[in-house]
Structure 1
Amino acid sequence: MTITQLTEIIWLVSAIALIILVLLHSPKGDGIGGIGGQAQLFTSAKSAETSLNRITWGLTIVFMGTTIVLSAGWLG
């Protein structure tokens, strides 16, 4: 297994994990529900949501970094 193949595997796993994590996030927008007055103006930040955000941002950095490395051809 070459370093390029390993980087591609990391890229693929991070892409799939990002899709799953983004789908796990709670919706932030009120959409149509905001018109009926059901929207909450202030909500408390939950530790699970904070952890989910941190993991998502970390995976985003990994995904973007491996995308740049693979697309630039720096690995040979």
Structure 2
Amino acid sequence: MTLTLVLKTLWLISAVGLIILVLLHSPKGDGLGGLGGQAQLFTSTKSAELTLNRVTWVLTIIFMGLTVVLSANWLPA
């Protein structure tokens, strides 16, 4: 296994994981519920959402970093 193949595999795993995590996030918009003041009922920050945000940011950084490294051809072929 070459280093390029390992990094491409990590890139693919981070891409799929990022897609899944973004889909797991709860919507932040108030929508029409904001007109009646009902949006303030559910504004508490949960630890699960905080952890989900942190993991999403870490996967985003990994994905973007690997994208730059793989696209710039910095690795030997």
TM-score (norm 2): 0.89
What is the alpha-carbon distance in structure 1 between the residues aligned to residue 59 and residue 48 of structure 2? 16
Counterpart of 1:9 in structure 2 is 9
Q: Deviations over 1:30-73 (max 9, x none)?
A: 12332344322771211000000000000000000000000000
Does structure 1 residue 55 correspond to structure 2 residue 55?
Answer: yes
How many residue pairs were aligned? 76
Q: Which runs of 5+ in 1 are unaligned?
A: none
Q: Residue type of the partner of 2:38?
A: Q
Larger deviation: 2-11 or 39-48? 39-48
Q: Which runs of 5+ in 2 are unaligned?
A: none
Does structure 1 residue 66 correspond to structure 2 residue 37?
Answer: no
Counterpart of 1:43 in structure 2 is 43
TM-score (norm 1): 0.90
Root-mean-square deviation (Å): 1.5
Normalized per residue, the structure richer in helix is 2
